[in-house]
């Protein structure tokens, strides 16, 4: 019992710290890539106080609920968007020998299902805000979820088929380095679909500020708005960690028995850097381009990866 409590507390600490680190990293990386001087000076050395300043700014802003909004749903939406990622982190193995918050036999199904719940928070926010721009953002979120959930699940199913288990620690126990070449397509599909579910650029049509102000978040202020931003960074952490576990070997690396957790963190933050890099590099897709990319490109690629995995499994057997 005590061991389980300690694991949950450790997961909570990680959940509270690492998304903030990713948010701070995004400030700095974008500042370097786009020549933004402001975030590099707050507090002195390398703008270390920028994150603190942002937190104070959100905390002191008034928490406003629109008069026509569904108050209860409006207030619950940020928590529904944020908390599922905490439960997902409980099931992601960080290192060998049971270094995981809670091992679940069908862990892969669990994490994919719970990640879908996080999107419901954005739908709640869009519907409850009594704002047409928020509603449009919520509808775009629903369409995007339905389009990109399928290739994401198919890509994950390819890894489960190769490993012969749905347990995330079990997948890593069965993982071999020769998987990298023939699972790379599935990794691309999974990571890209994950970015789309998080509504990260270039898949950020549901919050397109040039068209619908800020989508489902338009009416939010103060800490509730900050929770949505935190859920986005937590989602980056979760998608990067899952991609590392399923397609990059997770804690596998030199001296994995001693430093497995370090390889896992390095792979996760390398993928998080790619997420930030894509935001700076590519423009936003049009809504029709976003939908077409899912059904014309990602779904066929995921099905092809699934077929390739089946052929290789039969050949090996």
Q: For 176-230, write each residue's pLDDT tens digit.
A: 878 888 889 999 999 999 998 888 888 888 787 777 777 788 888 888 888 888 8
- Can you give the pLDDT at residue 147? 85
- Can you give the pLDDT at residue 176? 83
66 confidence band (pLDDT: 50, 70, 90): confident
- Could you list the residue range(s) of the whole structural domain that residue 112 is in? 2-316
Cα gap 198→144, rounded to integer Å? 10
Q: Kindly give, in sequence order, each residue whose CB lies less than 8 Å from that of residue 49, ignoring residues fewer than 6 positions away.
A: 42, 43
Rg (CA), the chain: 20
- Can you give the pLDDT at residue 44? 67
The residues facing 99 across adjacent strands are 95
- Can you give the pLDDT at residue 4? 64
Are the C-beta atoms of residues 92 and 137 closer than 8 Å to each other?
A: no
Cα gap 51→281, rounded to integer Å? 23
Which span out of 10-19, 96-105, 270-279 was modeled with the highest average pLDDT? 270-279
Cα gap 208→82, rounded to integer Å? 21
Greatest alpha-carbon span in the chain = 64
305 confidence band (pLDDT: 50, 70, 90): very high
Which carries the bigger pLDDT value, residue 60 or residue 300?
A: 300
Q: Which helix (H) or strand (E) holds 23?
A: helix 2-34
Mean pLDDT of 86-108: 81
- Can you give the pLDDT at residue 270? 93
pLDDT in tens, 226-258: 888 888 888 899 999 999 999 998 888 777 667
The number of domains in the chain is 1
Are the C-beta atoms of residues 239 and 181 closer than 8 Å to each other?
A: no
Lookup: tokens for 83: 């908390």
Residue 151 has pLDDT above 90, yes or no: yes
């Amino acid at each position: 019992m005590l061991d389980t409590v300690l694991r949950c507390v450790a997961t909570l600490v990680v959940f509270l710290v690492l998304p903030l680190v990713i948010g701070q990293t995004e400030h700095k990386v974008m500042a370097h890539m786009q020549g933004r001087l402001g975030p590099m000076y707050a507090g002195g050395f390398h703008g270390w106080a920028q994150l603190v300043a942002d937190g104070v700014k959100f905390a002191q802003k008034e928490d406003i609920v629109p008069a026509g909004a569904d108050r209860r749903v409006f207030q619950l939406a940020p928590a529904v968007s944020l908390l599922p990622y905490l439960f997902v982190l409980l099931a992601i193995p960080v290192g060998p020998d049971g270094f995981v918050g809670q091992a679940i036999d069908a862990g892969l199904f669990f994490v994919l299902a719970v990640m879908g719940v996080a999107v419901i928070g954005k739908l709640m926010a869009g519907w409850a805000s009594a704002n047409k721009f928020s509603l449009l953002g919520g509808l775009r979120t629903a369409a995007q979820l339905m389009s990109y959930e399928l290739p994401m699940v198919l890509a994950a199913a390819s890894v489960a088929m190769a490993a012969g288990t749905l347990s995330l620690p079990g997948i890593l126990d069965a993982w071999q380095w020769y998987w990298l070449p023939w699972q790379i397509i599935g990794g691309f599909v999974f990571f890209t679909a994950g970015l789309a579910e998080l509504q990260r650029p270039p898949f950020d049509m549901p919050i397109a500020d040039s068209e619908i102000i800020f989508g489902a978040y338009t009416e939010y202020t103060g800490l509730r708005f900050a929770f949505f931003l935190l859920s986005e960074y937590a989602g980056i952490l979760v998608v990067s960690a899952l991609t590392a576990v399923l397609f990059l070997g997770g804690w596998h690396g030199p001296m994995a028995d001693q430093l497995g957790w370090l390889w896992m963190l390095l792979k996760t933050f390398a993928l998080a850097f790619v997420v930030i890099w894509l935001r700076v590099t590519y423009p936003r897709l049009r809504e029709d381009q976003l939908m077409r990319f899912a059904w014309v490109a990602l779904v066929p690629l995921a099905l092809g990866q699934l077929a390739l995995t089946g052929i290789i499994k039969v050949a090996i057997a």
